[in-house]
Amino acid sequence: MEDIKNGATENNLAAPEEETKQPTPETGAEGDADITATAAEEQQKLREKIKQQLEEQRKRIQEANEALSQGKGRLRLETPILARDKEITELTYDFTTLKGFEYTDAMDSDPNANNAFFITKRQALALFAKAAAKNTEELDMQDIITNMGVTDSVEAVEIATLFFNASRRAGRMRISKLSSSQA
């Protein structure tokens, strides 16, 4: 009873909890400095983590750009393709191994395409599938076109479109006029 009169209750009669550091007028600056130092360390760690992630992303972008400029590379599939009871998780493509007839076959895959200077999405997917099937033994063009997931197809179309446009520009640089002495 005496404890209750002094402000104690059953709830706070237990062992005293650890004392938390509260800044006092004498130690206030010291407490704030500890908090500021901890926050600065956390910010530095976060900056380093972000810097590392950006560096990894730059490397992946550089690798992707090199693959695109060379016309060959690998596409890791978000949705694996099942072929002969085996999951294919990555397609290796190489546009430079395609021959003229394989190229025209891919371009003829879209009967609605009527502009020789642009590639449709259907044509781009067919072109990518031709290039990937030629470098992936387990799959043929039709397997890739019909079983590739949508997000993977979006990437494949973009890759083939970029290759097509870059090849067209590079081809223009190799064309020249015959001089009268060559004719």
pLDDT tens-digit series, residues 24-45:
555 455 556 677 878 888 888 8
Beta strands in the chain (DSSP E): 72-83, 86-94
Q: Do 126 and 110 form a contact (C-beta atoms < 8 A)?
A: yes
| Residue 143 pLDDT > 70 | yes
Q: What is the mean pLDDT of residues 42-62?
A: 83
% pLDDT > 90, the chain: 31
Q: What is the mean pLDDT of residues 129-137?
A: 92
Distance CA 106, CA 94 (A): 14
Q: How much is the average pLDDT of 98-106?
A: 91
Q: What is the pLDDT of residue 4?
A: 47
> To the nearest whole number, what is the mean pLDDT of the chain?
78
Say whether pTM exceeds 0.75: no
Residues 76, 67: Cα–Cα separation, whole Å: 13
